[in-house]
Chain A
Amino acid sequence: MGTLKRTLRDVGALAAATLAVGASFGAITIGYGLPAWVPLVMSVLIFAGGSQFLAVGLLAAGNPLAAVLAGLLLNARHLPFGLAVADTIGTRWRDRLIGSHIMTDETVAFALAEPDPAQRRRVYWLVGATLFVTWNTGVALGVLLGGATGDPNAFGLDAAFPAGLIALILPSLRDRDTRRVALAGAAIAVLLTPVLPAGLPVLCALLGLLALVRPPGRRRAPAASGPSADPESAAADSAAAPISGSGAAAGSVTEEARC
């Protein structure tokens, strides 16, 4: 009960922020001179805030092809997200078809922060459904109210979302390997942001998984002699093996190519 109440309160805070940012999306789109149905249809069918902001800017500039490509690039992270939350969504097709659509950064972060599988499933659907409703409601309000909704940055909402994400992933960072991967990934993404188009830097954060690759000297010795005496390094070895192929060097090449 205590946990449920806390979850509801947390989701409520996120829902309020989502409502406000949705309103600003609706208002901005109208401000660009695009028809009122555009933000409404986008928010129901695309339901990915970052790509919607990016796409309306390009649509308003008369560049629909760029809007589609840039939006898809920004949303490509949902594929690895889907792999990570597939067990949470379950195998029933009805759940998969609906659960996939309500997958967002926040839904994934909230769900993965929950250790118990049954509770994690409830949290996924609760957050996903709540954000779908509040996002679309906010967008409709923004369309109706126009510029009266104000600039969300003035209320610091641009700081609220990253801080919320940090709060959600912080518990998982107590695991040493996860921490190394996540910090390396975040550093890679931030450093690449000035030079790559939107979306690619975040995808390149997957290169952070290379932080698990041990130097060859330490890897090969225990592998040749069967089960490793050092359980941690053995786990990292086997974890790294499928990505790195025949070795660390080959691994970084394939990872680089994918990026």
Chain B
Amino acid sequence: MLITAILALAAGTYAMRLSGVVLRDRLELSDALQRLLPMAAAALLAALAGTAALMAGSEFAGVARPAGVLVGGLLAWRRAPFVVVVIAAAAVAALLRLAGVP
């Protein structure tokens, strides 16, 4: 039962990954529609970042995580290197938690 569920999830996930890659060729997309694809990806990634930053499950994620992401986001906006952004976000969240902030 366990292995069936895992294989089903794996096969379905792979099918969705591959179908986007293969369909792109079959679809005769206009230039305008092609321009939308990176925008759609940006919207999905922004949504992932937004929900991961603010929400834990269906509830608000507390203070430490959004604060860390905010600091990381500001550094990214000031064109800080990626490594600095990631480490600063983690450090702020970790230190706030250490100080007892949820």
Mark A193-231 against chain B: 1 for CB-CB distance below 8 A, else 0: 111001001111110110010000000000000000000
Tell me the bound Cα distance from A219 to B46 in angstroms.
Answer: 28
Mark A76-96 against chain B: 1 for CB-CB distance below 8 A, else 0: 111111111111010100001
- Indicate if B99 sits at the interface (CB-CB under 8 A): no
A236 CB to closest chain B CB (Å) equals 9
Mark A52-83 against chain B: 1 for CB-CB distance below 8 A, else 0: 00010001000011011001100111111111
Interface residues of B in 33-54 (CB under 8 A from A): 33, 35-54
Tell me the bound Cα distance from A157 to B90 in angstroms.
Answer: 5
Q: Using a CB–CB distance below 8 Å, which chain A residues touch chain B?
A: 6, 9-10, 12-14, 17, 34-35, 38, 41-42, 45-48, 51, 55, 59, 64-65, 67-68, 71-72, 75-87, 89, 91, 96-97, 99-101, 103, 105, 108-109, 112, 153-170, 172-173, 177-178, 181-190, 193-195, 198, 201-206, 208-209, 212, 235, 238-239, 241-243
Q: Is the CB of A160 within 8 A of B16?
A: no
For chain B, the count of residues having a C-beta within 8 Å of the partner chain is: 79
A187 CB to closest chain B CB (Å) equals 7
Q: Is the CB of A79 within 8 A of B19?
A: yes
What B residues does A185 contact at CB under 8 A? 42-44, 46-47
Closest to A62 in B: B1
A10, A42, A67: the one contacting B81 at CB < 8 Å is: A10
A10, A79, A160: the one contacting B20 at CB < 8 Å is: A79
What B residues does A17 contact at CB under 8 A? 86, 90
